[in-house]
Structure 1
Amino acid sequence: MGKGGAISESVLKKVLLSYAYVAIWIFLSFSVIVYNKFILDQKMYNWPFPISLTMIHMAFCSSIAYLLVSVFKVVEPVSMSRELYFKSVVPIGALYSLSLWFSNSAYIYLSVSFIQMLKALMPVAVYSIGVSLKKEKFKSDTMANMISISLGVAVAAYGEAKFNSKGVSLQLLAVAFEATRLVMIQILLNSKGISLNPITSLYYVAPCCLVFLSVPWLIMEYPLLRDNSSFHLDFVIFGTNSFCAFALNLAVFLLVGKTSALTMNVAGVVKDWLLIAFSWSVIKDTVTPINLFGYGLAFLGVAYYNHSKLQALKAAEGLKKAQQADEEAGRLLEEREEGNERKIDNQN
């Protein structure tokens, strides 16, 4: 096969691998969401203990991450002082524990489809918090886009057949805490040159989550579990559920590492539509036309936001390449001038 054919095969292989990473991430994310709903929903498995479920996930992920980092040395740990750990990682762990706690709690009160619609507010929360903490520049067109997303979600909420104010409040709190966590990662870690992949993130952050969650667990859920004589831990259900949660972190690592964070955002939109369709057709959740219209508006806003981010990334890459080209040209010019000077010296 000719050179052009070889290049075509290489490009095709890369494209197929990218689609494979996207498919794996969508499948695992889909599985974790539906599995958590199955466990927590009163009409299904009926185990309404979201803090306990989150702690089981964190205990499982902490154990596997510890084995991979400290025992089998599959992943290198990050060089981190105790001071940096307590000032940077611990606050992020606290925010992550709150995000997971409230997000899982929302499954008790809301449908899968409506939760995905509310999650469309994530770019709004991240941008708003980024602007307030001076990590993002305020732009009127971006803010207008954020308002359009918010209006779309508001319309979807207005059309929700089984609207539950407690569930909505929990999910909005989960979005707010998760958005704050993402911004704080940029401020507390990335700005200091520290980058954590999903395994090292779990290695450092998951134990913090366990500690923070143990306080509300002792107050809110432990007394109920202690007094419930019929309670028993189904190791098959909770083991496979925890494994899916850990595998999802690996899938994030593959997807972002082999493609980009923007690809994950776009794939997330596809996943949301699939979950809405699944929620309506299989779980038999009620999805109204107003729901779909509102989420459609929000979807367009999120799609435009992702497109704007992509254009900004391309512009930044173009500027970086231009700067590198200028530096290379300057270096070549200096070498040429030095060569000319040497020739003149030799002639003299």
Structure 2
Amino acid sequence: MGRDGSSGSGVSESVVKKVLLSYCYVGIWIFLSFSVIVYNKYILDPKMYNWPFPISLTMIHMAFCSSLAVLLVRVFRIVDQPSSPAMTRELYVSSVVPIGALYALSLWFSNSAYIYLSVSFIQMLKALMPVAVYSISIVFSKETFRSSTMANMLSISLGVAIAAYGEARFNAWGVVLQLGAVAFEATRLVLIQILLSSKGITLNPITTLYYVSPCCLAFLTLPWIIVEFPLLRSTPSFHFDFFIFGTNSFCAFALNLAVFLLVGKTSALTMNVAGVVKDWLLIAFSWSVIRDTVTTINLIGYGIAFLGVAYYNHIKLQALKAKEAQKKALPNDEEARNLVEDSDGDVLGRKNESQG
């Protein structure tokens, strides 16, 4: 009796501890993601810090993250480099370079949108990410077309369109930039499946920064020289604020560590649900603190999109549970087991989609 009671207590304490840690990881990720978005808005917005140079800001982030990633991987060896298969020059050029180029474009366009759009409206536009990922996955034959899923995607798109219609500070160029960022990021997530995961290469956020950040930095150099360097050179009054840009870059790097903790210790689906909570908090913050105008039509539109995304996540979770149940129910038949393992690529694709 005593042993049973202590065992039950031990299990209970273990479960409680695990739940509390999960909430802790979620809280850290939401805080850092929230901080990076608001901090970037503060730096880039002409009405705030007024430093409208998104390429320069992205390059500062990439240089900082590259330096710390090299220290962690090569000097302190806190995170091991993937060794199977080895990251050869050919593999880097054919797989990592295209992903780095898309990442550079995604960050450049996303940061540029902060100059023209409110934080709340940007979060509403980001609800289109599942639509973009699903559509691009169909183009690359990573997903099969399903009319029910496409109807769900159309409902999300309709919700975002209604939110855009009700936007008080609608700026067409800002919308184009943010939609471009969504398209580039969705393509990047799909190419990760095609170019890396299909070859057995998995990169955590630190090794991703180690390989991708220098490549991203190199791709941003040319547009920076053409677009922003002449403007920076013509403003001699500007001085580099190490505190502002240092803390901003550190927050961006810490966010990658938080992603590693959250996905590694919980799941990508947990991160996706936490992302919805973060979006609503950002909308509330944008309205109450930054004093951005959030209209009733905005909220109705985003509410429709939110329901569509929530239903999409529910379908993904059910599909994942069905595959797990199928694997457990299979007899020890090697051929049948291989068939299930072959279908796991679809689940992995959805996992990366959630991370996006």
Query: TM-score scaled to structure 1, two decimals?
Result: 0.93
Aligned residues: 328
Unpaired runs of 5+ residues, structure 2, are 337-356
Out of 117, 122, 125, the residue aligned to residue 132 of structure 2 is 125
Report the residue type matching 1:179 in the other structure: A
Gaps of 5+ in 1: 331-348
Q: Does 1:58 align with 2:62?
A: yes
| Per-residue CA distance 1:262-319 (angstroms, 9 max, x = gap) | 1111110000000000000000000000000000000000000011111111111111
Distance in 2, matches of 1:58 and 1:73, equals 20
Which of 95, 100, 108 is the equivalent residue of 1:88? 95
Matches within 5 A, 1:1-348: 2-78=6-82, 79-323=86-330, 326-327=332-333
Offset, 1:119: 0.1
Offset of residue 156 of structure 1: 0.1
Quick one: distance in 2 between partners of 1:7 and 1:138? 44
The 4+ residue runs of structure 1 with deviation greater than 4 A are: none
TM-score when scaled to structure 2? 0.91
- Tell me which amino acid in the other structure corresponds to 2:296: P
Q: Deviations 1:143-201 (Å, cap 9, x if unpaired)?
A: 00000000000000000000000000000000000000000000000010000000000
Which secondary structure state, in structure 1, belongs to the residue aligned with residue 116 of structure 2?
coil
Name the amino acid aligned to 1:51: I
Name the CA distance, whole Å, in 1 between partners of 2:51 and 2:129. 28
**Residues of 2 paired with 1:165 and 1:63: CA distance?**
36
CA drift of 1:326 comes to: 3.7
SS at match of 1:54: helix
Distance 2:14 2:154 in 1: 42
Take 1:40 and 1:7, find their aligned partners in 2: how far apart are those partners? 49
Aligned identity (percent) is: 79
Q: Distance in 2 between matches of 1:111 and 1:57?
A: 22
